[in-house]
Amino acid sequence: MEKDLDFWREKIDALDDQILDLLNERARCALSVGKIKLAEDLPLHAPERETLILNRIRELNGGPLSHEAAQRIFRQIIDESLRLEEDHADSES
């Protein structure tokens, strides 16, 4: 079952490409959400939504990442999405 190091590195590179594409797609969605929030005069930061996302990640996680590790990664994704929304809102004003 063991393959050589190059095989696994190529597989990781391909997965990284997919992850980056998905992160950018998620960022575009976050920008759309931010526009709606601004139009409806809602706060950009929604702690209750963040909690829902992190709880959902915990429930979905099947490892080998620990629940805490998966939540840390998604917390960072959420933080960067909020930062993107805030930067876009600042540039709109």
Q: Flag whether the pTM goes above 0.75.
A: yes
**Dihedral over Cα of 76, 82, 86, 88: its sign:** positive
Q: What are the structure tokens assigned to 16, written together?
A: 């990284």
Confidence band, pLDDT 50/70/90 cuts, at residue 82? very high
pLDDT tens figures, 8-19: 999 999 999 999
Q: Which amino acid, one-letter code, is at 12? A: I
Distance, CA of 30 to CA of 26 (rounded, Å): 6
Strand, helix or coil for residue 42: coil
Q: In sequence order, what are the residues at sequence separation of 6 or more whose Cβ sits closer than 8 angstroms to the Cβ of residue 5?
A: none
